[in-house]
Structures are given as C-alpha cells and as structure tokens.
Structure 1
Amino acid sequence: MIELFRSNDPIELSWAQSVLADEGITSHIFDYHSSILEGSIGALSRRLMVDNEEESRAKYILDIARRDLDAHNAANDSSRDAMAQE
C-alpha cells in the first residue's frame, strides 16, 4: 500500500475515497483510530492509501477531480459575486 495524501479533514478523505471508488479503485484510511485517540488537536493525520499498482492512476484521477472541483467553486463564486452586485 502507498500513501496518496494525509489529512485531518474527514470530508476531504471521504470525498477522495468516493472519487476513487467511482473509478474502481479501492482505498483505505489509515490511522483513523489513532487520530481519534489523540483528541481533536490534529497532531495525527489520517492517511489515504491505495495499492501500489494503483498509485499513478489514483493520483491522476484525484488531480483531475480537484481541478474540476476548483473550477466549479470558482464559477459559483463568480456567479455569487455577480448576483450580489445586481
């Protein structure tokens, strides 16, 4: 298994797992229980892991999904700004 990224954000991890699952890639969150035990100070991040053979494909898929999400958010911000100026 190989680490794709670390995060303290359960929503980001869930989103990434969902994106990968939609493409048929199984992923696992490591250190979930350890991060809960240490409290909510965020000292221990959770790790999103995939099989070694899936690393390149998983990174590519997440890169595209992040770009799409950023573009969508930027379009929403522009639309909201335009509505506020009316």
Structure 2
Amino acid sequence: MKELLRTTDPTVIAFATALLDGEGITAFAMDVHMSVLDGSLGFLPQRLMVADRDLFMARAILRDNGVDLPG
C-alpha cells in the first residue's frame, strides 16, 4: 500500500475515494477515527492509501480532477 493523499479535510477524502472508485481503483481511508479517539477535533490528518500498482493512475485521476497532491 502507498499513501496517495494526506489531509485534515474529510470531504477531500470522500471526493477522492469516489473519483477512484469510479475508475475501478480501490482506496482505503486510514486514521479516520483518530481525531475522535484523542479528542483533537479533526486536527490529525487522514490518509488515503492505494495498492502500489494503482499509485500512478490514482495520482493522475486526482490531479485531473483538481485535487492537490503533495510533491
């Protein structure tokens, strides 16, 4: 698994997941419940992970749809 995206905005995670799902790429949201557990009110970033083989295509899909990616 490779990290595709890291953000504190859960709407970005939902949007990216929907885009990838529409293209047949499975994405896994990680750290979704961490802010609830530690009481930080959403200040911990969530990560979106994809299979190694899907990373290149997933990055291209998100960039084409205006999602800012690191690097």
Number of the residue aligned with 1:4: 4
RCO comparison, higher one (Cα < 8 Å, 6+) = 2
The total of aligned residue pairs comes to 66
The 8 Å contact of residues 35 and 46 in structure 1, kept in 2 or not, is answered as no
More helix by share: 1
- CA drift of 1:38 comes to 2.0
Calculate percent identity across the aligned residue pairs: 38
After TM superposition, the structure 1 = structure 2 runs for residues 1-86 of structure 1, keeping only pairs within 5 Å, are 1-39=1-39, 40=41, 42=43, 44-66=44-66
After the TM superposition, which parts of structure 1 deviate over 6 Å for at least 4 consecutive aligned residues? none
After TM superposition, the score normalised by the length of structure 1 is 0.71
Gap regions ≥5 residues in structure 1? 68-86
Gaps of 5+ in 2: none
Q: What's the TM-score once normalised by structure 2's chain length?
A: 0.85
